[in-house]
Amino acid sequence: MGKQPVTEPFMIEKLNEAKVHFERALDCKHTEFDDLYPYMIEHPQFFWYKRYVAWSELLTIAGLCEELSFEWKEQFTPQQVEYIEKRVMSSTVLDFWYEKNDSIEPAQR
């Protein structure tokens, strides 16, 4: 695979993939993380850890978009942008990520 330039469309695509990954983890749906660590499904802490990994990925890519001055915030509701900017995955984030978010559906993949 050749080098791909870090363009705004490329980063926004990666950001949207990270958003879907996080939302699938929130919804307890299958993600590639399940394939990497199939034995963890048997452990109660698995879903917390899976969400933490997806949240970290989302924060990392959003942070890179911010540093590169890419317009990333329009991919999220104002409430979700606030959660991302605070950087802490609290129970509020887990409970209200979709709250008042009728126009954007949870991850469908």
Stated pTM of the model? 0.81
Domain definitions of the chain by residue range: 27-87
**Contact call for residues 31 and 21 (beta carbons, < 8 A):** yes
pLDDT band at 101 (very low <50, low <70, confident <90, very high): very low
Task: Reply yes or no on whether the pLDDT at 109 is more than 50.
Answer: no
Task: Reply yes or no on whether the pLDDT at 9 is more than 90.
Answer: yes
Q: Give the CA angle between residues 76, 81, 83 to the nearest 5°.
A: 125
Element of type H or E holding 7: none
Q: List, for residues 58-89, the tens digit of each pLDDT value.
A: 999 999 999 999 999 999 999 999 999 999 99
| pLDDT score recorded for residue 88 | 93
Averaged pLDDT of the chain? 86
> What does the alpha-carbon distance between residue 30 and residue 82 come to, in Å, rounded to a whole number?
26
